């Protein structure tokens, strides 16, 4: 599940290769070169520009901010309601699947948000999530987000690098395994990661 029309013509993306940016019409391949390589492509565990690019391609956020008009629009969340100054309820999109076929549900949102604010997560981009107190499951597709204090830019932060991780898969492989074979709900899925060679991705099936 991703933003429709976002680089849909690209079938494979390779980052950090030894070549400049090249696009091949014959095989719909884009090669992008960079002199920076994230040790971990998780958006929570690196703050490089390349990590931001990868994060946008592999994962989705709860909310999308339209750059044309600045409006917040549904993404993984279909709607939201400010219950009070420190509470926001989200209704989640049904029918979304992770790249491995697992369904996206409230369990994934609650797991992700509670994990990234915990000390053991050791996130690098702490400033993106340090306003979050906890997340609570209200139903299979509804979540309540508790804030530490009133935080007006909450939706802005949620529309940026605060993607949702797959609870079941992450708990099976751990952070080390997830960094080697990450999966998300975004428009592209990772097919290979090799240190010094790059990251390869194919367009993910809609779902």
Range 88-97 average pLDDT: 99
- Condensed to tens digits (0 to 9), the pLDDT of residues 130-147 reads 999 999 999 999 999 999
Asked if the model's pLDDT at residue 91 lies above 90, the reply is: yes
Nearest to 109 by CA among 172, 148, 61: 61
Query: In this structure, what are the phi and psi dihedrals at residue 203, rounded to the nearest 5 degrees?
Result: -60, 130
For residues 187 and 119, give the distance between their C-alpha atoms in angstroms, rounded to a whole number. Answer: 30
Q: How far is CA 199 from CA 16, 96, 100, 135, in A?
A: 7, 24, 18, 32
| Domains of the chain in sequence order | 12-203 (3.90.76.10)
Q: In which residue are the tokens 């107190």 written?
A: 133
Give the tens place of pLDDT for each residue, 168-193: 999 999 999 999 999 999 999 999 88
Q: What percent of the chain clears pLDDT 90, i.e. is strictly above it?
A: 65
| Burial letters 149-163, b for 16+ CB under 10 A, else e | eebeebbebbbbbbb
| Residues contacting residue 38 through CB under 8 Å, at least 6 positions apart | 46, 48, 50, 51, 54
Inform me whether the pLDDT recorded for 1 exceeds 60.
Answer: no
- Which range of 3-17, 23-37, 158-172 scores highest in mean pLDDT? It is 158-172
Comparing 55 with 87, the larger pLDDT belongs to 87
The mean of the pLDDT values for the chain is: 85
């Amino acid at each position: 599940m991703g933003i429709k029309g976002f680089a849909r013509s690209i079938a494979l993306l390779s980052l950090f290769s030894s070549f400049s940016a090249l696009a091949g019409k014959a095989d719909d391949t884009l090669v992008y070169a960079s002199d920076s390589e994230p040790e971990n492509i998780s958006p929570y565990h690196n703050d490089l520009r390349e990590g931001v690019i990868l994060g946008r391609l592999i994962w989705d956020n709860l909310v999308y901010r339209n750059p044309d008009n600045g409006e917040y629009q549904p993404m993984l969340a279909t709607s939201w309601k400010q219950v009070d100054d420190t509470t926001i309820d989200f209704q989640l999109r049904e029918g979304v699947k992770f790249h491995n076929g697992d369904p996206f549900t409230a369990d994934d949102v609650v797991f992700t948000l509670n994990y990234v604010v915990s000390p053991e997560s050791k996130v690098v981009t702490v400033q993106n999530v340090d306003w979050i107190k906890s997340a609570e499951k209200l139903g299979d597709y509804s979540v309540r987000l508790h804030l530490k204090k009133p935080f007006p830019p909450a939706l802005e932060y949620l529309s940026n690098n605060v993607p949702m991780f797959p609870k079941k898969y992450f708990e099976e492989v751990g952070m080390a395994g997830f960094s080697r074979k990450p999966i998300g709900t975004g428009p592209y899925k990772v097919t290979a990661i090799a240190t010094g060679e790059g990251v390869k991705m194919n367009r993910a099936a809609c779902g």
